[in-house]
Structure 1
Amino acid sequence: MDKKKLSERDICTKFITPAVERAGWDILTQVREELYLTKGRIQVSGQLHTRGTPKRADYVLFYKPNIPIAVIEAKDNKHSVGAGLPQGLGYGEILEVPFVFSSNGDAFLFRNNLKSEGVLEKEIALDEFPSPEQLWQWWEEAKGLTPEQARLVTQDYFNDGTDKTPRYYQLLAINKTVEAIAQGQQRLLLVMATGTGKTLTAFQIIWRLWRAGAKKRILFLADRNILVDQTMTNDFKPFGGAMTKIRNRRIDKAFEIYLSLYQAVSGNEEERNAYKQFSPDFFDLIVVDECHRGSAAEDSNWREILEYFSEATQIGLTATPKETETVSNTDYFGPPIYTYSLKQGIDDGFLAPYKVVRFDFDRDLSGWTPQAGQRDRYGHEIDQREYNARDFDRSLVLSRRTELVAAKVSEFLRETDPMGKTIVFCENQEHAERMRSALVNLNPEQVDKNQRYVVRITSDVPDAQDNLDDFISPRLPYPVIATTSKLMSTGVDAQTCKVIVLDQRIQSMTEFKQIIGRGTRVNEDHDKFYFTILDFKGATELFRDPDFDGDPVQVYQPGPGESPVPPADTDGAASREDGWDAGTGDDVTTATRKFYVDGVEVSVAARREIYFDAQGRPITESLKDYSRRTLTREFASLEDFLRRWDDAERKQTIIEELRREGVHFEALAHELGLGAHHDPFDVIAHLVWGRPPLTRRERAARVKKRDAFTRYGETARAVLDQLLDKYADQGVGQLEDREVLKLPDFRPFGTPLEIARAFGGKTEYEQAIRALEDELYSAS
């Protein structure tokens, strides 16, 4: 057998998999081939989207189904034994596994990061592959686990029989937490961005500790009814009859898993004593969901409960660790044991990226001063002073401003998706009602189709819960637009929300992150891949804060003799038992009268779309200057650019890498006056080196005119001609994606396999695509 003629997949099947199996690995339960670690970042182009290349490991080896322990990267036999090691090390770093192997079918290059045998790397024969027990023994020794600790660490997670493995970061969060508890840690904090599955992660942690008998009675605390009820019916459902919800003072001590609102066990004086019906040592484990909100309450509900059950192991879950000069939940729980940020989630493709459109109104910038003695709509004399953005919709209402916001929101929806779920965050309940009315008046055709096209969802609306349930349901089209103030800022799983409107001054980074989190979920079944933020009050200035998506920074430092528990914060609001905001944040009460002024003209002084660089920071210079600087750093010269473009096996890879660096080709082409039908190749060459640009259609026409593919048969030429049309319409990615052959335009030529045969086979088809790309760019 000539190994040089075998594909990478053949090498895996004939040499690598048998070697792993001979070493004692169970192929069905311990070996996962071609395991996708990420989904590929979602790239947004205008109203279209594509996905970047996902990260996929050839093999991930699991000691137990919940414990990844090694990675194998395979290459065909034309490569050296160790050619796959750099790639494998990258996957090993993602999974945080200590053992990485590379193979071309001749042998393995083994990287043992634990140096268990005194050497970092060595080549081993195919029949020398280590067994699961050997790798686990090395790792167990490196971690210093006792047999009892190892028993807990290796406890299986819940499996519903679907063989669905948690995402890599969920596995890391679960395993790190269980391991820390096994080693005696009592206070733990998990920081995971909204939409990344905190509750599912918490369930698996609890399940493993419970099934292992390490934690027998567990309390799960949340701050809203909807969170508790969703948790019981969804992620926690496998606990079945062992689980109950604490309802006010009705406490049954016969269960093992308890779910409760903070307020159900620590509300008024009578309720506050409810949790004391349990002895202080009743619970072995307490998990606090959204612990930043409880820490913000003035009566510090969760802290009081945790201090009472101080002997229990306690885990805090949050998307937004609370760190201010006076408040810190990391001081209570300690530094996060694991952090998975919004930026990581977007980069991996698990969370939706966002576009930001900011509107600056002239009155917000210059303010407004009433004439002496001027009265408002209701005949009240307006206090004589200058009113600015800080006052609008709080102490003074300019009706034209409300109408203009509603007009811009309606205009955006009409131009994109009139049925796109939209949340409008207002200053207070009264502002939310005025905004609802303005949106109804501007969308009469939609409201005629369904009266619930626009609704207000605030705590003072009788049917707010029903509207909220329907709004967050992916299956139900109505309501479409929800106006709110604080109620929907957290704990609302709005999977299909496509637009977040900010007509609210937001000073709190915690609140800002929570609001942005309403749009970060991806729902591919309902075409939700990204979302747009429409900002009318400059709230997105918080993106410029270096701590927007960074690691939490410890600020609170207790002095000598002071409690390690930081004082209560007033930045948020507690919630009543019914799960609605208690009122401290959902409306504004002021000692002064609110004035309503009609007839004051308001206009848009500036509208701009905000773009972000590779680190997720807003680009503050012009897009042209930023892109030119980035591209000049990437390519030393025009010749360097042309050479690298020509050498690239996939041009789309270069395009995606530059997008990740913050080069926004569509917006850049618009700024350069080129339009949407220019290839990124031409955008780059024109911007940096002043080369005359061609449209994609012009490039395709040149190739057709040269009749460059006479050596192919009739079917193959027809396929290439159709591919040129696809390139002209949508770009080079269409040439490099084999899925394009499944489109209706190619059905007359047969299946993808039959099309490849028209060229002589799969390899010959790929060579023809490369030749086609050479022809497209040869004139350059």
Structure 2
Amino acid sequence: MLNEADTRAKLIDPKLYKSGWSEDLIQRELKITEGRIIDEYGNRKKGVKPDYILFLERYFPIAVVEAKEEAKHHATGIQQAKRYAEMLNVPFAYSTNGHKIEEYDFITKKQRTLDKFPSPQELWKRYSLWKFNKLLPFNKDENPLLYPYKIVQNKIPRYYQIAAVKNVIEAFLNGKKRILLTMATGTGKTEVAFWVAWKLYNTRKARRILYVADRIMLRNQAYNRFEPFGGAREIIKEGKALKIRDIYFATYQTLYSEKNGKRLYQEYPPNFFDMVIIDECHRSGYGRWKEILDYFKDAVHFGMTATPKRDDNIDTYAYFGTPVYVYSLGQGIEDGFLSPYKIHKIYMNIDKKGGISLTDVASEGAAIEVPEETEVKDFYSVGEFEKLI
């Protein structure tokens, strides 16, 4: 009887090839997590490495296969395969000893024994009918789910970013007008937004996109990350409502500023944008960004937040609904993409006073920029300052 390595090489691989899985659609022992950091020296737990991940297109996983040596029962690895499949957000899990194959289908919630692997086309059909009630084209030039990722500076998408991009695009293709993504700070929401925009734009599903942030730093960060769009990008600045580009970036304060007796966003036709992306939508002044979104009501509204639902951001969740994907701080730490932390409580002047005094801030040498229509007062609570200034 063959050991596991020989079972893979001599029995499992030939079965995959026979069912149409070429080498470019197979990844073996791909490390999908870094492993939790366990001490101050940076030592880690072992990362997660499924035996096989099957892809329909690079970065579009569809199934997980766990391999067992020939002498073991073919279904021995099915629970492990199911755990990996749930983690990767894929609908099919397999366990095999090279002879029989055990399949768990998350679509039907049924388990069955097979003699051969389903083909890529069969799994695409099953997935497509499940998600869209119709067979979408198995063509990367037309289908944003399969359109290639744009890799810049060797930034390879992590497993959860791939899952987030897929879920957002699925919602878009299903006609959902309000889409919410919840991902912990530092896990790459801007990356996800770029890849979503890249795929939709290049398959002509969305021609004009507006990216709205609540701070100039975040606006500029997004503009720079979207660099592969080149000359199709434009930053909207106060008093200028240019309309000759495709991908626009603005702060909501700028869009809310006045020009010719109107808010700047009203200089654009209501149907100008196909998608509006709201970064940090849990903190971006609900009243104002909702007013902007109400104006661009025909566009798909894609909100991103790092904050789970709670009392102070309930408006965000009421507007967008249940997130299409959630990647939590705890999961990021467990996967090793974020560091564990300890809380040290430090009281600053703002905490002691309960807010911010512009006089005190100016005396420390800080520059204060205030939207033109805002009536300035000396003292603001933190919440007021975030929304108004």
Q: Partner residue of 1:173?
A: 164
Question: Normalised by the size of structure 2, how large is the TM-score?
Answer: 0.85
Alignment pair present for 1:59 and 2:21: no
Q: Distance in 2 between matches of 1:202 and 1:166?
A: 12
Q: Partner residue of 1:36?
A: 31
Q: Partner residue of 2:122?
A: 134
Deviations 1:427-474 (A, max 9, x none): 76888899xxxxxxxxxxxxxxxxxxxxx8x84399xxxxxxxxxxxx
Q: Partner residue of 1:539?
A: none
CA separation of 1:163 and 1:90: change in aligned 2, threshold 3 A: farther
Alignment pair present for 1:280 and 2:270: yes
Q: Distance in 2 between matches of 1:313 and 1:94?
A: 27
Deviations 1:284-334 (A, max 9, x none): 1100111122235xxx32122111111111111111256437951111112
Does the CA-based 8 Å contact 1:189-1:337 persist in structure 2?
yes
Q: Partner residue of 1:237?
A: 227
Q: Distance in 2 between matches of 1:573 and 1:163?
A: 35
Q: Distance in 1 between matches of 2:349 and 2:155?
A: 50
Q: Partner residue of 1:208?
A: 199
Q: Distance in 1 between matches of 2:133 and 2:292?
A: 32
CA separation of 1:146 and 1:254: change in aligned 2, threshold 3 A: farther
Moved over 4 A (4+): 147-151, 161-165, 268-272, 389-393, 426-434
Does the CA-based 8 Å contact 2:184-2:328 persist in structure 1?
yes
Decide which structure has greater helix share: 1
2:180 aligned residue (166, 189, 192): 189
Q: Partner residue of 1:460?
A: 367
Deviations 1:713-765 (A, max 9, x none): xxxxxxxxxxxxxxxxxxxxxxxxxxxxxxxxxxxxxxxxxxxxxxxxxxxxx
Does the CA-based 8 Å contact 1:265-1:272 persist in structure 2?
no
Offset of 1:73 from its aligned partner?
0.7
Secondary structure of the 2:290 match is helix
Q: Partner residue of 2:378?
A: none
Q: Partner residue of 1:291?
A: 281
Q: Partner residue of 1:394?
A: 353
Aligned residue type for 2:30: L
Secondary structure of the 1:574 match is helix
Aligned residue type for 2:367: D
CA separation of 1:38 and 1:295: change in aligned 2, threshold 3 A: same
Q: Partner residue of 1:715?
A: none
Q: Partner residue of 1:573?
A: 386
Unaligned runs of 5+ in 2: 370-380
CA separation of 1:82 and 1:390: change in aligned 2, threshold 3 A: same
More displaced, 146-155 or 195-204? 146-155
Q: Partner residue of 1:319?
A: 306
Q: Distance in 1 between matches of 2:231 and 2:33?
A: 36
Alignment pair present for 1:336 and 2:323: yes
CA separation of 1:394 and 1:111: change in aligned 2, threshold 3 A: closer
Offset of 1:238 from its aligned partner?
0.9
Does the CA-based 8 Å contact 2:238-2:254 persist in structure 1?
yes
Aligned residue type for 2:300: T
Secondary structure of the 1:32 match is strand
Aligned residue type for 1:286: V
Alignment pair present for 1:25 and 2:12: no
Aligned residue type for 2:288: N
Q: Partner residue of 2:134?
A: 146
Q: Distance in 1 between matches of 2:203 and 2:85?
A: 28
Q: Partner residue of 1:306?
A: 293
Q: Distance in 2 between matches of 1:356 and 1:161?
A: 35
Deviations 1:473-494 (A, max 9, x none): xxxxxxxxxxxxxxxxxxxxxx
Q: Partner residue of 2:70?
A: 77
Secondary structure of the 2:303 match is strand
Q: Distance in 1 between matches of 2:360 and 2:68?
A: 62
Q: Distance in 1 between matches of 2:120 and 2:136?
A: 19
Q: Distance in 2 between matches of 1:122 and 1:101?
A: 10
Alignment pair present for 1:228 and 2:219: yes
Question: Normalised by the size of structure 1, how large is the TM-score?
Answer: 0.44
CA separation of 1:358 and 1:86: change in aligned 2, threshold 3 A: same
Q: Identity across aligned pairs (percent)?
A: 34
Q: Distance in 2 between matches of 1:69 and 1:36?
A: 16
Q: Distance in 1 between matches of 2:149 and 2:131?
A: 24
Alignment pair present for 1:354 and 2:347: no
Q: Distance in 2 between matches of 1:220 and 1:315?
A: 9
Q: Distance in 2 between matches of 1:301 and 1:129?
A: 52
**When the two structures are aligned, how many residues end up with a matched partner?**
375
Aligned residue type for 1:574: K
Aligned residue type for 2:151: D
Secondary structure of the 1:72 match is strand
CA separation of 1:165 and 1:13: change in aligned 2, threshold 3 A: farther
CA separation of 1:326 and 1:247: change in aligned 2, threshold 3 A: closer
Does the CA-based 8 Å contact 2:66-2:95 persist in structure 1?
yes
Q: Partner residue of 2:377?
A: none
Aligned residue type for 1:107: K
Q: Distance in 1 between matches of 2:273 and 2:254?
A: 17
Aligned residue type for 1:90: R
Offset of 1:37 from its aligned partner?
2.2
Secondary structure of the 1:43 match is coil
1:96 aligned residue (89, 95, 102): 89
Offset of 1:32 from its aligned partner?
1.3
Q: Distance in 2 between matches of 1:332 and 1:391?
A: 31
Does the CA-based 8 Å contact 1:220-1:260 persist in structure 2?
yes
Aligned residue type for 1:194: T
Larger radius of gyration: 1
Unaligned runs of 5+ in 1: 365-388, 396-425, 435-455, 463-506, 512-569, 576-581, 583-780
Q: Distance in 2 between matches of 1:163 and 1:325?
A: 38
Aligned residue type for 2:92: F
Q: Distance in 2 between matches of 1:21 and 1:250?
A: 57
CA separation of 1:83 and 1:16: change in aligned 2, threshold 3 A: same
CA separation of 1:16 and 1:159: change in aligned 2, threshold 3 A: farther
Q: Distance in 1 between matches of 2:357 and 2:45?
A: 40
Does the CA-based 8 Å contact 1:65-1:156 persist in structure 2?
no
Deviations 1:639-682 (A, max 9, x none): xxxxxxxxxxxxxxxxxxxxxxxxxxxxxxxxxxxxxxxxxxxx
CA separation of 1:108 and 1:163: change in aligned 2, threshold 3 A: farther
Q: Distance in 2 between matches of 1:433 and 1:129?
A: 68
